[in-house]
Amino acid sequence: MVKDQEFLKSKASYCLDLAKKMGATDASVTVGHSISETVNFRNKSLEASDRSDGLALSIETYLGKRRSSISSSNLLDENIKTLIEKCLETTKITPEDEFNSLPDKNLLAKHISSLNLYDETRFENDKKIKYLKDLEESASTDSQIINTESSFTENKSNFILANSDGFCDGYKTSSFAASCVTVAKDENSMERDYEFSSKRHLSDIKQAIDLGNKAAKQTIRKLSPKKIGSEKISIIFDKRISKGMLSAFASAISASAIARGTSFLKDKIDQQVFANSINIIDKPDIIKGMGSQNFDSEGVNSNTLQLIENGILKNYLVDTYNGKKLNLKSNGRSGGTTNLYFEKGNISYEDLMKKNSRSLYITETIGHGSNLVTGDYSVGATGFLVEDGEFKYPVNEITIAGNFKDMFKNIILANDLEFEYSVNSPTMMIEGMTVAGK
Amino acid sequence: MNNFFNKSDLTRQDADKIVSETLNNCDDGELYLEESKSESILLDDNKIKSSNYSSDLGFGFRAISDEVVAYSYSNEISKDSLKNSSENLKSTLKSIKGTYNHEIPKSNKKFYEDINPIEQKTLDSKLEVLNKVNDFLRKKDGSVKQVTASFAGEQKSIEIIRSGGEALTDVRPLIRFNVSVMLEKNGRKETGVYGIGGRQSYDDYLKNDNWKNVCEEAFRIASVNLESKPAPAGEMKVVLGPGWPAILIHEAIGHGLEGDFNRKKTSAFHDLMGEKVASEGVTIVDDGTIDNRRGSLTIDDEGTPTERTVLIENGILKNFMQDRHNARLMNTRSTGSGRRENYRHIVLPRMRNTMMLSGNQTQDEMIKSVDKGIFAVSFGGGQVDITSGKFVFNCTEAYEINNGKIGSPIKGATLIGDGPSILKEVSMVGNDMMLDPGIGTCGKAGQGVPVGVAQPSILIDKMTVGGTKL
């Protein structure tokens, strides 16, 4: 069983009291416990099983405007004492920083509403095994599938965040995740693809059979790919790739990137950065949401934020420290976005596919090709050539490149938004990007 | 030497007993105990932004029967906790009928000292270096708009207890010093990053004001990029500089030669043993035995002494990299490549220091032979799809080559290629092999481990450059 609130609270207040007694002017503590169990399958038999049980503690101590932190997995009182001593010693010689402080008291979360983020159901390993058997059975019906690997992970966590201004709260969360990776082979090629489902509640996980079928189908259609020539072409991003654009956007509007001046979106508040039709929202209070939270990692209340309204940048993601630097109040985004999504567009998936007589549909990108300082984007890609709305043949060993500043202004979104993950996007089209191939 | 038992109700004898009892009839397995102490100190935006110290202690208990690996970890070293783990492993491996292999090769060579780098330099003197870096760069040029500098240090002590009471230990120091600078000129912003590190004390790397050289290099890369033009798009010749660009070898070839993917036949290389996979003159080794290098290990995380494994010899595929589990299932021996990020993770076959050895041509000859292509000097990260063999990496410093001459710098572009065929496109191998500066971390299955790379300059006849200029 995951440790209860009382246990974590007692550890947290022990740390706070000790830190104060030893001279800290302020302190904040996070204590967490997490248990996770994973079963791995390969080619329809058990491959591995893994159980982890871990406590984690992190403490920040302040001496006026001086601050430093420590973390440990060892929660014995004697060890905690040594660590806090060490932390305070370090704090003493760390230079002052005028922006260091606990969050403003009046911004701290006061009412914790239930977001239904914890499902106490225990999915025994035998049941995980049964689920994975069914999954791999359905994934390997086609003889071109030569390898299947799948896993099921169940996680239960609990935490308490406490600070010397009296904040002390936390809550349990759970997650269940099933995933499947399949390898297919024909005379010309060997390809891999995947499918997964990750939810707060066990009953919301996709059916094993559907997951396996989908992974297999997505893999087989990639066989015998061709390389295309270098050209400018409109690109359609599958949902699993288009949500990555949102993540890149979120990194570029974090208060830390803005305060440091290392973002291509610095000083763009109230300016047009996306096409007129685009709205981007970060909503922390979705029931059972994968990214939902009652407060951020500093205890600050977080409300729904409209980040982009009709293409115009309305908000940065602000934490206490960088907020002070920028003269902005924290909006509860220390730790980043919560449930981030593009509002759906008004064209159907089918119409988007047919919008141009020829386009490139991307299902996977590889490489770390996003430069958030300049906005330059260049990644390796895999996908399909689309003609008249139909997949013609698979394509690989190409790159796609552009600059976010231009790409964002040319986004067209389909109306197929679904809330599956903590970041969600409809299918997306961007015109005028460069493909490098032959 | 660490004593994992002096603050616990668990004695060494108890541990031996539980381990032997649990692993009875298993094919392999061990108790892995680990304590790590680490620090990170960051200067950013003119200030010491953070100084963090962490300590971590825990065990991972593994039992293997045939193809099934059962694993359980905890950060509480106690009799109860170990017994719980043992029960857990036994319940996973319902019918066990293996033969425990007691053979672990022995070596008394050590490739680094038992030091704690964190304690060997005072916090004050670390802060002083970071502040000097900030002042030095900001005074150097008005275009410097942002400076980030950091120290990261770690000492990791491990003990591996095998069935029958055999114990193997190692103490591993690791440090890294990094500088990143952002320049702004005429409305353009570019960054340059450089770092150094390895398994010695900070001062071994920072003597003679060596931090200045790190600053100069980061500044130089950023300055070059301020002048960069859009990169070309399409297939062309690529000259790679020596040293760090060997992450191409790591991504394109290295991962595909790890034992697990080949046992599962999901690597594009699984049926190519003994065959020609590279041009003549191309020899690639994976070496865990170079003194004080970031990727070196005295013993791997299963207790096997590391070695210099020849992967490709003169173009022919010779060996895969193996941990004990995959080696046993493939009827071969471990190459000392079994690694894990920490006690929370299972062992996987991983790279150590992956190196292409020198040939006898010069970089000059390579550049002169290219009509139209690019010269890539430094890279950011890379990634590979093991199954299709396609890999990418991102240039952080590159130039056009026109008619045998190096031209303008070009913007960061992704290069993409095909692992099994790329080394056949290598038409010249330089005489200037160089090790990287000691900054690499390799990610696999969610686990990061420190690695090194090395190579001479090489000429690749055909590769796709992912720029925007058609």
C-alpha to C-alpha distance for A419 and A175, rounded to whole angstroms? 16
- Our count of domains for chain B comes to 2
B96 belongs to a structural domain? no
CB pair distance less than 8 Å for A380 and B466: yes
CB pair distance less than 8 Å for A54 and B44: no
Mean pLDDT, residues B13-23 taken together? 95
Chain B, 169-188: which have a CB under 8 Å from a chain A CB? Answer: 182, 184, 188
> Which of A371, A382, A403 is best to mutate for the B interface (most B CBs within 10 A)?
A371
B104 belongs to a structural domain? no
Mean pLDDT, residues B352-372 taken together? 97
CB pair distance less than 8 Å for A70 and B69: no
> Which of A398, A399, A406, A433 is best to mutate for the B interface (most B CBs within 10 A)?
A399
Do A302 and A172 lie in one domain? The reply is no
Q: Which residues of A touch B47 (CB under 8 A)?
A: 95, 97
Domain end, chosen from A155, A188, A220, is at: A220
Distance from CA of B146 to the nearest CA of A (A): 7
Predicted complex ipTM? 0.85
Q: Which residues of A touch B191 (CB under 8 A)?
A: 262, 373
CB pair distance less than 8 Å for B414 and A399: yes
Pair of tokens at residue B292:
């004080």
Of A183, A192, A368, the CB nearest to B380: A368
CB pair distance less than 8 Å for B387 and A261: no
Do A253 and A195 lie in one domain? The reply is no
In this complex, is the C-beta atom of B421 within 8 Å of any C-beta atom belonging to chain A?
no
pLDDT at B95 over 80: no
Pair of tokens at residue B127:
């802060």
Selection from A281, A340, A337, A332 nearest residue A110 by Cα: A332
C-alpha to C-alpha distance for A184 and B46, rounded to whole angstroms? 53
Q: Which residues of A touch B56 (CB under 8 A)?
A: 72-74
Do A281 and A407 lie in one domain? The reply is yes
B29 belongs to a structural domain? no
Mean pLDDT, residues B264-268 taken together? 91
CB pair distance less than 8 Å for A73 and B266: no
Do B278 and B302 lie in one domain? The reply is yes
Do A246 and A131 lie in one domain? The reply is no
- The answer to whether residues B409 and B225 touch, using CB atoms and an 8 Å cutoff, is yes
Do B351 and B296 lie in one domain? The reply is yes
Q: Going along A346-422, which residue ranges are E strands?
A: 358-366, 376-387, 390-403, 411-413
Q: Which residues of B touch A227 (CB under 8 A)?
A: 464
Q: Which residues of B touch A70 (CB under 8 A)?
A: 52-55
Distance from CA of A402 to the nearest CA of B (A): 6
C-alpha to C-alpha distance for B385 and B196, rounded to whole angstroms? 28
pLDDT at B2 over 80: no
For residue A114, give its domain range: 5-220
Please, which residues bridge with residue B152 across strands? B40, B176
Domain end, chosen from B178, B208, B226, is at: B226
Do B332 and B248 lie in one domain? The reply is yes
Distance from CA of B93 to the nearest CA of A (A): 9
Do A258 and A155 lie in one domain? The reply is no
Q: Which residues of A touch B264 (CB under 8 A)?
A: 42, 147, 149
CB pair distance less than 8 Å for A398 and B464: yes
CB pair distance less than 8 Å for A54 and B75: yes
Do B222 and B238 lie in one domain? The reply is no
Q: Give the percent of chain B with pLDDT over 90.
A: 83
Pair of tokens at residue B315:
């173009």
Number of CB pairs < 8 Å for A and B? 236
B402 belongs to a structural domain? yes
Q: Which residues of B touch A435 (CB under 8 A)?
A: 233
Domain end, chosen from A220, A237, A260, is at: A220
Q: Is A59 left (phi over 0), alpha (psi -120 to 50) or beta?
A: beta
Per-residue tens of pLDDT for chain A, all 438 residues: 889 999 999 999 999 999 999 999 999 999 999 999 999 999 999 999 988 888 999 999 999 999 999 999 888 888 899 999 999 998 998 889 999 999 999 999 998 889 999 999 999 999 999 999 999 999 999 999 999 999 999 999 999 999 999 999 999 999 999 999 999 999 999 999 999 999 999 999 999 999 999 999 999 999 999 999 999 999 999 999 999 999 999 999 999 999 999 999 999 999 999 999 999 999 999 999 999 999 999 999 999 999 999 999 999 999 999 999 999 999 999 999 999 999 999 999 999 999 999 999 999 999 988 999 999 999 999 999 999 999 999 999 999 999 999 999 999 999 999 999 999 999 999 998 999 999
* CA distance to B213, B287, B310, B352, per residue, from B355 (Å): 25, 8, 10, 10
Selection from A172, A250, A178 nearest residue A2 by Cα: A172
In this complex, is the C-beta atom of B127 within 8 Å of any C-beta atom belonging to chain A?
yes
Do A355 and A267 lie in one domain? The reply is yes
Do B214 and B257 lie in one domain? The reply is no
Identify the pLDDT of residue B408. 96
CB pair distance less than 8 Å for B70 and A232: no
- Secondary structure (3-state) at B284: strand
Q: Which residues of A touch B393 (CB under 8 A)?
A: 367
Phi, psi of B232 (to 5 degrees): -70, 160
Give the pLDDT confidence of B405-425 residue by residue, as tens digits.
Answer: 999 999 888 999 998 889 999
Pair of tokens at residue A385:
């050539």
Do B434 and B324 lie in one domain? The reply is yes
Distance from CA of B392 to the nearest CA of A (A): 6
Pair of tokens at residue A221:
């259609």
Give the pLDDT confidence of B143-167 residue by residue, as tens digits.
Answer: 999 999 999 999 999 999 999 999 9
Do A196 and A233 lie in one domain? The reply is no
Do A148 and A248 lie in one domain? The reply is no
B378 belongs to a structural domain? yes
Give the pLDDT confidence of B423-458 residue by residue, as tens digits.
Answer: 999 999 999 999 999 999 999 999 999 999 999 999
Side-chain-facing half-sphere of B247: CA atoms under 13 Å: 29
Burial class (CB in 10 A: 0-12, 13-18, 19+), B405: exposed
CB pair distance less than 8 Å for A367 and B383: yes
Selection from B142, B214, B193 nearest residue B412 by Cα: B193
**Which residues fall within 8 angstroms of residue B434, CB to CB, at 6 or more apart?**
B242, B243, B454, B455, B456
Distance from CA of A96 to the nearest CA of B (A): 8
Do B247 and B284 lie in one domain? The reply is yes
Looking at residue A81, which CATH number applies to its domain? 3.30.2290.10
Do A54 and A105 lie in one domain? The reply is yes
> Which of A3, A100, A262, A438 is best to mutate for the B interface (most B CBs within 10 A)?
A262
Pair of tokens at residue B97:
């009928």
Domain end, chosen from A186, A220, A254, is at: A220
CB pair distance less than 8 Å for A380 and B390: yes
- The answer to whether residues A307 and A280 touch, using CB atoms and an 8 Å cutoff, is yes
For residue B139, give its domain range: 123-160+169-226
Do A313 and A378 lie in one domain? The reply is yes
Burial class (CB in 10 A: 0-12, 13-18, 19+), A110: exposed
- Our count of domains for chain A comes to 2
pLDDT at B96 over 80: no
Locus of tokens 């990287």 = B436
**Alpha carbon distance, N-terminus to C-terminus of chain B:** 60
Tell me the residue length of chain A.
438
**One-letter identity of residue B313:** E
Beta strands A428-436 and A411-413: pairing type? Answer: antiparallel
Do A57 and A107 lie in one domain? The reply is yes
In this complex, is the C-beta atom of B107 within 8 Å of any C-beta atom belonging to chain A?
no
Pair of tokens at residue B78:
């106690």
C-alpha to C-alpha distance for A53 and B74, rounded to whole angstroms? 5
B26 belongs to a structural domain? no
Please, which residues bridge with residue A60 across strands? A28, A69
C-alpha to C-alpha distance for A413 and A278, rounded to whole angstroms? 8
> Which of B37, B53, B190 is best to mutate for the A interface (most A CBs within 10 A)?
B53
C-alpha to C-alpha distance for B72 and A49, rounded to whole angstroms? 8
Question: Which contacts qualify for A167-173: CB closer than 8 Å, 24 or more apart?
Answer: A167/A108, A167/A109, A167/A299, A168/A9, A168/A12, A168/A13, A169/A109, A169/A112, A169/A294, A169/A295, A169/A299, A170/A5, A170/A8, A171/A112, A171/A117, A171/A118, A171/A294, A172/A2, A172/A117, A172/A118, A173/A117, A173/A118, A173/A200
In this complex, is the C-beta atom of B72 within 8 Å of any C-beta atom belonging to chain A?
yes
Do A182 and A263 lie in one domain? The reply is no
